[in-house]
Structure 1
Amino acid sequence: MVVDRIFSGIQPTGTPHLGNYLGAIQNWVNLQEECSSVLYSIMDMHSLTMPKEPAVLRQNILDTTAAILACGIDPKKCFLFRQSLVSEHAELAWILGCLTNVPRLLRLPQWKMKRASQNNEGTVGLLTYPVLQAADILLYKSTHVPVGEDQVLHLELAQDIAQHFNKKYGEFFPVPKAILSTTKKIKSLRDPTVKMSKSDPQKLATVNIVDSPDEIVLKFRKAVTDFTSEVTYDPAGRPGVSNLVSIHAAVTGLSIKEVLHQSAGLDTAHYKMVVAESVIQKFAPIRSEIKKLQEDTSHLIKVLEDGAEKAKELAAPIYQEIRRLVGFQ
């Protein structure tokens, strides 16, 4: 696979949870080692699609930055920046929005799902944020985007917009390809039929990477399994136990087969504690580094500002050419 430039982003929701780490951030760390041009953005503009108090958003931006740095993202190996500091994102989104029809946006499942939280009305921002996502990607002529399965339709929209622009104005944007995460989707510890989520009202459902060892042990002890004591992997028939196996494999780097071999003879009650201990060991150094970074706000701000400056240098000539193509100059 020839990869020229990778772009990905994360919404600033504070410190990530286990699913965020295994599904996205761990992959980001690997990709920055493999590709010479990588951009990772804190998507603060996207976060406004759901109501946020300004003080909470400001703190979430810093906490998210501290967390991904602690997880191994290196600003020397990638551009790490705040989306809103590069104004070309919003400007390009307007141009691309003028090439995108409303029925296409109305069909996207995220719109149908998230507007329910806004009295089934939804805002213009919530409807059009997939166009801003397309602008985020295309502004840098990105060739590849790491995505989870739930974002594939949004990437397909970005691909269609790129092709539409190229057809109208001449070949300009590469059509970005997906880099799908190989990690099994991490499920809620209280309802293994749905994915782990920070917004889950059940506090025991989601493991946060800054949870204390005692909190992690409690959440895994209370994890929903079934009445069979043997540890097996059967996502359809035994989703709870299979979710634990997936987590165990992901945090240790072992295969599902290796995890099952190591766990032979354990009942699920004992196995829960094995998985909890693996998670505790994985996150202990990260948790310590997050606390250290959170105490140095000025460093976090500087990292994001320096990254934005570099991202803007990359974006500016591309956007100037877009302005010329559409007739602005």
Structure 2
Amino acid sequence: MNQTSFTPRVFSGIKPSGGLTLGNYLGAIKRFVGMQGQMETIYCVVDMHAITVWQDPKELANMTREVAAGYLAAGLDPSQSILFNQSQVAAHAELAWIFNCVARVGWMNRMTQFKDKAGSNAEKVSLGLYAYPALMAADILIYQATHVPVGEDQKQHVELTRDIAAKFNHDFKTDFFPLTEPVIEGPAMRIMNLRDGTKKMSKSGESDMERINMTDDADKIAKKFKKAKTDPEPLPETVEGLKDRPEARNLVEIYAALNDMTPEAVIAEYPGAGWGTFKPALADLAVAKLAPISEEMARFMADPAEIDRILGEGAEKARAIANPILRDTYDIVGLLRSDATR
């Protein structure tokens, strides 16, 4: 079986911790919605990944609903895409254990995100934080997903997923799992901090002015962009002039991503413009694109039972795909099951 033998299928997920930002929307959700109809699409709120660090249980449930509301408000259609939260499909965790036994410790030691998150405290973090790339591989391969839309900072995880799939296939003399392809395209895949263009926009930043929250109303969105840090120089005549100007580049790329343009097209529209011209234009564009989404998110969040219903129906659809793949994996590995559990 080769790569083309697998059903073209997209999988991706967002972790429910700290609330959704503009970075989540432009780097992930907007792209996810755009992929609907192109191939089978499966999107997940990865709540099991969230608990690799301590989470308040009530807040975790609320954040899971907020991420789902963000997907839905941005245009994800549950009749076209499968949307669910990870913990409702036990096959993710079951396949992750098998992958824990396939992956090598050396592979985990090379994962840069663990090093970044653990810092100098690596001996005291959870085993889950260390091993979570194997769960991430299971998230993808339990659906035999062929494509994963990711930012550059997540590409290493897809490479590990490919390594795990290749070793599993080699060890068991099969071609059961695809070598998943990362999909990295378009502007503004890495949205930066509005107060420091060298840092990624984060849910956990110290100041709320650093980020655009997807729950921000129109006034907050406009205020944050108008007060975003810039440098003294106007916009350049060409995109090459954005080199070594992180704040300027970030705002141009945000404008481009919001308006489905390239950064080159933005510069062509605003050559040599001062920030007194460009930032209000960016603020107006952001309000037009984002305020309706935040309003729709608020509507969904006011009806948590409806969100739970959508996630439950999505989980049922996901299990219908995942469980047969898990059963076949058990058979390949040689894990004995009685007829009653098949």
TM-score bracket for this pair, using the shorter chain length = over 0.9
Q: In the alignment, which of 170, 186, 206 is matched to residue 182 of structure 1?
A: 186
Q: In the alignment, which of 144, 168, 171 is matched to residue 171 of structure 2?
A: 168
Deviation at 1:294, TM superposition (A): 0.9
- 8 Å contact from structure 1 (residues 15, 67) kept in 2: no
Query: Which segments of 5 or more consecutive residues in structure 1 lack a partner in the other structure?
Result: none
Q: In the alignment, which of 22, 26, 29 is matched to residue 22 of structure 1?
A: 26
1:70-219 to 2 correspondences below 5 Å = 70-116=73-119, 121-169=124-172, 170-184=174-188, 185-219=190-224
Q: Residue type of the partner of 1:279?
A: A
Query: Which segments of 5 or more consecutive residues in structure 2 lack a partner in the other structure?
Result: 337-342
Q: In the alignment, which of 5, 15, 18 is matched to residue 9 of structure 2?
A: 5
Cα deviation code 1:257-280 (max 9, x no counterpart): 332232245311331111111100
- 8 Å contact from structure 2 (residues 10, 145) kept in 1: yes
Is residue 2:60 matched to residue 1:57?
Answer: yes
SS of 1:189's equivalent in the other structure is coil
Alignment-derived partner of residue 242 in structure 1:
249
Alignment-derived partner of residue 284 in structure 1:
291
Q: Distance in 2 between matches of 1:203 and 1:287?
A: 16
Is residue 2:258 matched to residue 1:251?
Answer: yes
Cα deviation code 1:165-214 (max 9, x no counterpart): 11111221111111113222211111101111111112211011221222
- 8 Å contact from structure 2 (residues 187, 256) kept in 1: no
Q: Percent identity?
A: 39
Deviation at 1:14, TM superposition (A): 5.5
Q: Distance in 2 between matches of 1:311 and 1:117?
A: 38
SS of 1:34's equivalent in the other structure is coil
Q: Which moved more, 1:307-316 or 1:115-124?
A: 115-124
Alignment-derived partner of residue 322 in structure 1:
329
- 8 Å contact from structure 2 (residues 197, 246) kept in 1: yes
The root-mean-square deviation of aligned C-alpha atoms, in Å, is 1.8
- 8 Å contact from structure 2 (residues 235, 270) kept in 1: no
- 8 Å contact from structure 1 (residues 209, 283) kept in 2: yes
Q: Residue type of the partner of 1:160?
A: D
Q: Residue type of the partner of 2:325?
A: I
Q: Distance in 2 between matches of 1:167 and 1:235?
A: 46
Q: Distance in 2 between matches of 1:73 and 1:320?
A: 30
Alignment-derived partner of residue 273 in structure 1:
280
Aligned residues: 328
SS of 1:193's equivalent in the other structure is coil
- Pair 1:291–1:15, CA change in 2 (3 A): same
Deviation at 1:236, TM superposition (A): 2.7
Deviation at 1:237, TM superposition (A): 2.1
Alignment-derived partner of residue 228 in structure 1:
233
Q: Which moved more, 1:228-237 or 1:89-98?
A: 228-237
- Pair 1:119–1:133, CA change in 2 (3 A): closer
Q: Residue type of the partner of 1:195?
A: K
- 8 Å contact from structure 1 (residues 32, 38) kept in 2: yes
Q: Distance in 1 between matches of 2:163 and 2:286?
A: 40
Q: In the alignment, which of 273, 298, 309 is matched to residue 302 of structure 1?
A: 309
Q: Distance in 2 between matches of 1:311 and 1:259?
A: 40
Q: Residue type of the partner of 1:295?
A: A
Q: Which moved more, 1:95-104 or 1:258-267?
A: 258-267
- Pair 1:230–1:88, CA change in 2 (3 A): closer
After TM superposition, the score normalised by the length of structure 2 is 0.91
Cα deviation code 1:34-63 (max 9, x no counterpart): 11x211011000000121100100100111
